[in-house]
Structures are given as C-alpha cells and as structure tokens.
Amino acid sequence: MRPFIPLLALAAGLCAVSVVQAAQVAPRPVVDGVAKAIADNYYDAAKGAAVAAQLRAEAAKGAYDRLTDPRDLATTLSERLRPLDHHFSVSWSPPSADDPPPRGAGPSAGVGPAPRLAPAGPANAERDPFRRANYGVRRVEILGGNLGYIDLRMFADFEFGQPDAPARKTIEAALQTVANADAVIIDLRDNGGGSPAMVGYLSSAFTPKGADIYNTFKYREGTASEALKDWYAAPRLDVPLYLLVSPRTGSAAEAFAYTLKNAKRAVIVGEASAGAANPGGPVPVAGGFAVFVSNGSPISPITKTNWEGDGVQPDVAVVPAKALETARALALETVLKTAAGPDAQDARWALEAIRAEASPPAAKPLADYVGGYGGLDIIQLDGRIGMKRGKRPVTVLLPLGGESFTVLDEPSRRVVFERDAKGAVTAFEAITSDGRSARYRREAAPAS
C-alpha cells in the first residue's frame, strides 16, 4: 500500500534548510530532472507527460533562468505545480558528495530512484523518529459533559499482523481512554497526513467490520484497496463522532474525514480541508532537489471520486478557531436527546458553560463577592473572581448569569451566591451536577 506522506514533514524539511547558505545552481537541468520524475512516476501517465512537457517548454524559454538560488527555484516550482496536484512540492537540501551530478553532466545522469512506497521509518534500529511525536497523538482527555477528545497530528504507519507495533498501541491507548465517553471528538485541524493503514484502522473503531467504505487506489500498474487486514476489536458503532478539519488538514487526514463523512458516521466541523488526495512520495533529483510525486489516486466506493482540489467539505462550517467549541456544543446537544438523570444534568451544565464562555452574560460588580466564606476566600483576579482555600490553586469562576457561576474547565461544579434584602452577598452554595452541595456563609458583612 502506498502511503500518504505527511505534508507537514515536507514543510518541516523546507524550513530546516532556510538558514543554509545556498550555492547557485543552473535551473534548466533541475527543471528537466523534476519533469522526468513527474513523467516517470505520476499515477496518470498522460497527465504526467503533459506536465513534464509544460515544464520543459517553460524552461527552454528561460522562465526559470533567474532562479539560481536553489531555495527560490524549489519554492517557485512548488507554486507552479501545486494547482495541478495538491501534493506536488519541490524541496531542496544541501547535496552530499554522493549525490549524482545534474542530468546530462556525466554517467550518473538522471533522477534518483522511484518514490518510496512506505512512510519514512527509523533512520536506524536504535531511533524511531515518530516516537518523540507520540505517533501523532498529541493530547487525549475527557472534556466537560463526558466528551472524549483526541488531538491527532499524524496518521503514523504500522504493519498489520503486528499488534505490538508502537503506532498501533498508541492509537489503541487513545481510543481506550475515550471508551466511556458519551461522544468523541477527533481534532484533525493540524494533521498533515500519513499512513492509509492507520486511516483504515482508526475508521474501523467507529464502523462495522467489513463495511464497504474504504478507498480503492488507482496506480499505473493496477489498484489496491485501503480496506484493512486487522480490525479494531471493540468498535463503537453508535457513539456520536465529530471530526475537526481546517485548510491544514491534508492527505491521509482528509481520507479519514472523507471516508467517515460519506459513510454518514461522523459530523465534519470546520473549514474545507487542503484538497490533497493523491498519495505518493519524494523522488530525489540531482543537486539536492526532490519532488513529491503522486503515484496513486483514491476512489471512494460511495462517491466514485475523491477530494482532490476541493477538500473535504464540512457539515458544519465554522472558522477553525471555533471548531472545537462548536463540536462540543453539537455533541452535548446530541447527548441530551437521550440522556437522563444526573447524566443529563452534567451534559446540560457543560453546554451552558460553553455558551456562557462564548457569550459572557452581563455580570454584577465583582467586588460584591470578594471576601471570606468559612475557610474559603473569594478573590478578584484578571477581571474574574476565584475561589481559594489556603495554599491550594485558585479555582476560577465564570459567570452564567444572575448569581450563578461555573468552575472553569469543570462545568460539573457550580457556585451560586445569595444576597440579603439589602442586596449584600451573604453566602454561597457549592453544587455538583450529581446533586451534592455545601453552603458557605460570609464571615463578615461587606463594608457599606
């Protein structure tokens, strides 16, 4: 199976050489090498030949002659090619002594080997470069209202039939953490792609075994299915699922969102994704250059097409910065349709806290609440009030309206203040969504 190579990895490579003092290059041989790599490896042979012919014609007219700095040449070629396929990208790094000379300059003329057919793996047996990135799993937690949240930055590769593969064990640990959540949110806003094996495996955690939802990849030499060989053992087929996307969501991350959207298994929240559907890999070109060439193209069994160019379209369109807040509210609204008792109260309080934080209600003067309350102090800080007991960290309170406040990041806890006939605050009650409460009287009346 050919991989979706993470787009962010290519971007990181470009950034890494930005401080290098680059020697000048002759642009025409480089353009010819890039053209040959595309003609030889692009999944659509006719289009690859046409693109190569265009590049060579432009080079012959001197379109790139002024770009003698290899960094400028790489950037210009990337911008020229990307509209033709959103995976096209040219990069440069300082060549080593072992690199071949430019095309036509000697016995090693020509481009390097064909694209890699597996994601970049460990440089050697002692170091796994993806371990420090935790195989793409940046953060896993349970949000207010019992919502599971996974911040996934990469679809790390693993081989089926190897249950102890680190990438597989890591995603399984993340799924286990959210196994008891009432809804699940997977954040793909900063996910540039990765491995189709992980796409299939993670999809199987939310869909029936054997479901006909997986892409078929078309290559010059034939086709291959994205359908997996090992299925997640305990899929959650009914849990509400929300996927967050942005224009930075690319490649395999788009495949995951596209697959579950078309299977009507997830709600997509955010902005349209990058539109980079076609997998492939970097093809080395002489002089330290490499061009990412798509050697395959996915086709959905449901739509009979893919997301190239257009991206995965959201079901709920919202700017990426608001996507998590929006998905949380949507998830809680869905949970409340069937929840009952304390569970419903917990979800309702979490939803009210989200709405109050997004649109803070008018609040009474904060100074009204400041004071001592039977071993607890209400203090004012940074335009808010907080609850403090001894040396414990301050618990920040956010207004819900009236005399009610929610605890920041703990919406299952609330504080409700009481006033006397003259309007002075005299006590507060600390309440939890499961019905427990405690009352704290103010130690002294506020100064008049």
* 414, β-bridge pairs: 406, 431
Distance CA 59, CA 30 (A): 10
- Please provide the CATH number assigned to the domain covering 366-441: 2.40.128.50
Crossing angle (nearest 10°) for helices 45-60 and 27-41: 170
pLDDT of 126: 60
pLDDT of 99: 55
pLDDT of 3: 54
Contacts of 114 (CB under 8 A, 6+ apart): 40, 41, 283, 295
Delimit the domains of the chain by residue range: 134-280+293-336, 366-441
pLDDT of 20: 52
CA dihedral 406, 407, 408, 410 (to 10 degrees): -110
∠ CA 226-227-233, nearest 5°, is 135
pLDDT of 404: 96
Distance CA 61, CA 401 (A): 69
- Please provide the CATH number assigned to the domain covering 134-280+293-336: 3.90.226.10
pLDDT of 4: 56
pLDDT of 13: 43
Encode the chain (448 residues) as per-residue pLDDT tens digits: 555 554 444 444 444 444 456 689 999 999 999 999 999 999 999 999 999 999 999 999 999 999 999 999 999 999 999 999 999 999 999 877 555 554 433 322 232 233 333 343 444 446 788 999 999 999 999 999 999 999 999 999 999 999 999 999 999 999 999 999 999 999 999 999 999 999 999 999 999 999 999 999 999 989 988 888 899 999 999 999 999 999 999 999 999 999 999 999 999 999 999 999 999 999 999 999 999 999 999 999 999 999 999 999 999 999 999 999 999 999 999 999 999 999 999 999 999 999 999 999 987 899 999 999 988 999 999 889 999 999 999 999 999 999 999 999 999 999 999 999 999 999 999 999 999 999 999 986 554 4
